[in-house]
């Protein structure tokens, strides 16, 4: 199964722009950023399973963690997981949201791949030697924070221990089984109300957390393109702000 998933990721990158959209000239002038979309074999966790490393966790409990698997069956979903973080509630942009490790591309970075790996190390403490970068996906605008973001697709062939490195940036670090995200019972559309305006995005319920916004959009597009999506009935999911 692992070799099949890796082959699918390679084919996806070779296929070109996943999003079938172009960044406009105005959007291209936004600040450049990158995120690390890191998949791993769910059966090779690097640390204790069934729990989340949070900013308040003791150092002895830190490690690559795997939320309790919710399998659909080997015929329905790949047995892989994806690394996510919970952003600190004190941040100015996207506070408390579930996200991929990532951030702005610094002048010292050679490009989005270097930036995504650097941010992954800074935010989770992962060992980049265990990460095999598959390639970059098409850029996506993130108007709310004036960024254009490059998702960097990667395979974690040797998962290392991860934990919250800076409580001012992240509140939790965890690995989520893809089967949990694909479960139709966990799918929906996030409804966000800001005054008279209403926004919606693909959403995934993971325990008490909701994955939505940019991260939900990327995961939704990836799962569709990889042929992993399971039939599900759209339902609204209110997101508390």
Residue pLDDT, tens place only, 181-236: 999 999 999 887 777 777 788 999 999 899 999 999 999 999 999 999 999 988 99
Task: Specify the fold of 2-183.
Answer: Nucleoside Triphosphate Pyrophosphohydrolase (3.90.79)
Of residues 144 and 23, the one with the higher pLDDT is: 144
The residue whose two tokens read 């939505």 is 212
Q: How far is residue 162's CA from residue 235's CA, in Å, rounded to a whole number?
A: 33
Residue pLDDT, tens place only, 144-158: 777 889 999 999 999
- The answer to whether residue 159 scores a pLDDT higher than 80 is yes
- Please state the three-class secondary structure of 204-221 as a single string: EEECCEEECHHHHHHHHH
Return the sign of the alpha-carbon dihedral for residues 9, 22, 238, 93.
Answer: positive
Q: How far is residue 237's CA from residue 123's CA, in Å, rounded to a whole number?
A: 28
- Residue 140: the pLDDT is 87
Q: How far is residue 164's CA from residue 29's CA, in Å, rounded to a whole number?
A: 32
Mean pLDDT of 76-80: 76
Report pTM: 0.86
The residue whose two tokens read 């490195």 is 165
Extents of the domains making up the chain: 2-183
Q: How far is residue 61's CA from residue 64's CA, in Å, rounded to a whole number?
A: 10
Lowest mean pLDDT among 42-46, 132-136, 149-153, 201-205: 42-46
């Amino acid at each position: 199964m692992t070799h099949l998933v890796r082959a699918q990721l390679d084919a996806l990158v070779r296929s070109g722009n996943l999003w079938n959209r172009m960044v406009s000239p105005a959007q291209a002038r936004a600040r450049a950023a990158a995120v690390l979309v890191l998949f791993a074999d769910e059966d090779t966790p690097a640390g204790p399973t069934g729990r989340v490393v949070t900013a308040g966790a003791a150092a002895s409990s830190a490690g690559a963690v795997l939320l309790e698997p919710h399998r659909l069956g080997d015929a329905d979903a790949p047995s892989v997981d994806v690394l996510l973080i919970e952003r600190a509630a004190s941040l100015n942009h996207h506070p408390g949201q579930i996200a991929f490790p990532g951030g702005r591309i610094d002048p010292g970075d050679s490009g989005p791949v270097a930036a995504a790996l650097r941010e992954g190390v800074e935010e989770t403490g992962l060992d980049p030697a265990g990460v095999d970068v598959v390639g970059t996906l098409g850029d996506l605008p993130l108007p709310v924070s004036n960024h254009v973001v490059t998702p960097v697709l990667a395979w974690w062939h040797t998962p290392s221990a991860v934990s919250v490195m800076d409580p001012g940036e992240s509140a939790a670090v965890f690995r989520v089984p893809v089967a949990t995200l694909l479960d139709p019972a966990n799918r929906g559309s996030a409804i966000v109300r800001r005054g008279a305006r209403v926004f919606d995005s693909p959403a995934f319920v993971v325990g008490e957390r909701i994955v939505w916004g940019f991260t939900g959009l990327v995961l939704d597009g990836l799962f569709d393109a990889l042929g992993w999506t399971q039939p599900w009935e759209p339902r609204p999911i209110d997101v508390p702000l």
